[in-house]
Amino acid sequence: MKFLPLVFFALIARGQGVSNEWDISQTLDALSAQAKRLKPILDQLTPQEWVSKGAPQTYVTQWKGAEDELGYLVNSAQALEKQPEKLTLALDAYFRLQSLEMRLNSLVDGVRNYQNPAVGDLLIGVLAENSSNRDKLRQYITDLANTKEKEFEVADKEAQRCRGVISRQPARPAAPSKKNQ
Question: Low-confidence residues of the chain, pLDDT below 50?
Answer: 1-15
In a domain, 64, yes or no: yes
Q: What is the pLDDT of residue 70?
A: 95
Taking CA atoms, 148 is separated from 62, 106, 153, 163, in Å, by 36, 36, 9, 22
Distance, in Å, from the CA atom of 8 to the CA atom of 135, rounded to the nearest integer, reads 30
Q: What is the CATH number of the domain that holds 70?
A: 1.20.120
Instruction: Please check whether residue 16 is in contact with residue 157, taking contact to mean a CB–CB distance below 8 angstroms.
Output: no
| Boundaries of domain holding 137 | 3-155
Q: Which tens digits make up the pLDDT trace of 125-173? A: 999 998 999 999 999 999 999 998 998 888 888 888 888 878 787 777 7
Q: What is the pLDDT of residue 21?
A: 62
In a domain, 150, yes or no: yes
Single-letter amino acid, residue 112: R
In a domain, 147, yes or no: yes
Nearest to 43 by CA among 57, 62, 59, 63: 63
Nearest to 11 by CA among 147, 163, 178: 147
DSSP 178: G
Q: Other CB atoms closer than 10 Å to residue 124's CB: what's the count?
A: 15
In a domain, 173, yes or no: no
Q: What is the pLDDT of residue 44?
A: 95
Distance, in Å, from the CA atom of 117 to the CA atom of 39, rounded to the nearest integer, reads 18
Q: What is the pLDDT of residue 178?
A: 67
The number of domains in the chain is 1
Q: Other CB atoms closer than 10 Å to residue 66's CB: what's the count?
A: 23
pTM value is 0.75
Q: What is the pLDDT of residue 74?
A: 95
